[in-house]
Structure 1
């Protein structure tokens, strides 16, 4: 019998293109992912990966199986959710910690869906930055689930008793004032941005350190005109012509007129969004809540906004 956990792992391997990437997303070791995929091959009698000394490339059979696995897992979740509603009767309280831009632009969209209405969860929400919400997960804390982000590999630590699930990525975009005359969607090099004034994070924070290293790697040493950790304020100041900025796509869903988003090949950065939960809160309703939120994030792709 095929283990649904192995199917979920297969989806992550296909999505990331490697065992190591899937392991990072799921909170496993690469060895554990490899073992799960070997077990899945044995259970299905199918060769899913062409293994070599340095890599394990998915076969066509693996890609086809992943498509079917996504539907099977959706059906399993729906069945379990139906059973939970039948058994539960009343709504279950979930004490949720969530960072501001996710609470502003993604959570309200989920709460307006029919899937949410059927889920049977009563939310108690705490909006705060990740470092604060992680504290709420510690022993005796006030939270059951924390939705946090991590820029690069730095800046966050959580208790060993907390499990992690990847929810989605929030890509950063380089934005400029439209008054500078560069067309929306233009591709520019980091060299072309070197002499422009910039609005950046306050120095010393983990996010700022990652951004500084990224800029330095492409020989970009920005002339800082303002320090700001509020993305809405950065957007407004950019629209007013003060300077360029690096802003995640979630915050850009409500961007003002007068802002142009660029493609800068050397500047590729994302906030990875994770759900952290204590060990005693692994149930189907919470898992479906996280899956539904992940679907909302997938749909939140930034379309070009032609402004003048």
Structure 2
């Protein structure tokens, strides 16, 4: 029997044209995608890729299988959602998933406001990155609302069975030690950042790929002295005078002293924030909470 996970991966490989692109979209490593495709060929008995030394191209059989997989996966998503909905209807809990920077900086205040208005509301919260959050939706996990983001032109694909509600932008900003005195300039140029030390994301996620692409397009070759995915830690390292960092605005609350937020027009990158809602997530009080989040994101913009 064919594995639906492998079919979904095949669909993305055919759509995007490579194992690496599909891996980025689905939250896997390229080697994991390759292993899934090998397993799918073994299970089906069909050659799906013409493999070279450094590339793999879908065969016509793979394209036909992907075309049919759209309908098959749509039916499976609907089946999972219908079955999960029965359980949700019997529960008074609102099940939510959010990613770390929202959970750390913004979500506690929103939850306090929501619970003050609706003290009987029970919220079960899971904190995880967008890739596993989307995988949980595909696997039928009981989540009513998943908060995720897309960066630049990259991003995850999600099941057709959920309603995607756009919440707003979360722009990246350059943080620098105040000791560099760059905050004295209304606009900071790329030339003023050349040769400076930087704290960058770990490689392999959509944030790091898009940031590195942006920096390369501007011919800015950062001198990377550290890699860190914890924005609070990065901000403290900036405050020490160690290096600059590139951090979303939603993570800039309660910055330590000796940190400056710079205006660098050439370095423009945005997280687009979405709420992936099941049928129950489209109802109240979930939508009231999402409206609060939408307003908070709009107010967070520094200009």
TM range (shorter): 0.5 to 0.7
Matched, 1:282 2:260: no
Task: Point out 4+ residue stretches in structure 1 off by more than 4 angstroms.
Answer: none
Matched, 1:107 2:121: no
Change (3 A) 1:124 1:184: farther
Q: How far 1:100 sits from its partner (Å)? A: 1.2
Shift of 1:114: 6.5
Question: How many angstroms apart in 2 are the aligned matches of 1:171 and 1:140?
Answer: 31
Query: What SS class does the counterpart of residue 226 from structure 1 fall into?
Result: strand
Quick check: 1:98–1:147 contact (8 Å CA) kept in 2? yes
Provide the aligned length of Structure 1 versus Structure 2: 214
Change (3 A) 1:98 1:114: closer
Question: Within the alignment, does 1:296 sit opposite 2:296 as a pair?
Answer: yes
Q: TM-score, normalized by length of structure 2?
A: 0.65
What whole-Å deviation, never above 9, does each CA across 1:250-282 have from its counterpart, x for those lacking one?
A: 111021111111100111111111000224543
Equivalent position of 1:146 in the other structure = 146
For 2:250, the equivalent position in structure 1 comes to 250
When residues 116 and 184 of structure 1 are mapped into structure 2, their CA distance, relative to the original with a 3 A threshold, is: farther
Distance change (3 Å), C-alpha of 1:101 and 1:283: same
Is 1:174 matched with 2:166?
no
CA shift digits 1:215-244 (9 cap, x unpaired): 111111111111111111111111111111
State how far apart, in whole Å, the 2-side matches of 1:136 and 1:148 are.
12
Query: C-alpha displacement at 1:200, in angstroms?
Result: 0.7
- Does the residue aligned with 1:203 lie in a helix, a strand or coil? coil
Contact 2:177 2:240 in 1 (8 A): yes
Change (3 A) 1:290 1:114: closer
Q: Distance in 1 between matches of 2:243 and 2:200?
A: 10
Deviation at 1:188, TM superposition (A): 1.0
Aligned to 1:163: 163
Secondary structure of the residue that 2:271 maps to in structure 1?
Answer: strand
Query: Which residue number in structure 2 is paired with residue 233 of structure 1?
Result: 233
Residue 101 (structure 1) shift: 1.4
- For structure 2, the 5+ residue unaligned runs are 1-89
The alpha-carbon deviation at position 121 of structure 1 amounts to 3.3
1:1-308 map, 5 Å: 92-113=92-113, 117-118=117-118, 121-183=121-183, 186-279=186-279, 281-302=281-302
- Asked if 1 retains the 8 angstrom alpha-carbon contact of 2:197 and 2:225, the reply is yes
Name the CA distance, whole Å, in 2 between partners of 1:167 and 1:120: 25
1:115 CA displacement? 8.2
- 2-side partners of 1:168 and 1:116: how far apart? 25
How big is the alpha-carbon RMSD for the aligned residues of Structure 1 and Structure 2?
2.3
Shift of 1:186: 3.2
| SS state at 2:183 partner | coil
Stretch deviating more after TM superposition (185-194 or 239-248): 185-194
Deviations 1:74-133 (A, max 9, x none): xxxxxxxxxxxxxxxx99311000111111222222223378614863210001111122
Q: Does the CA-based 8 Å contact 2:281-2:287 persist in structure 1?
A: no
Cα distance in 2, alignment partners of residues 184 and 215 from structure 1: 23
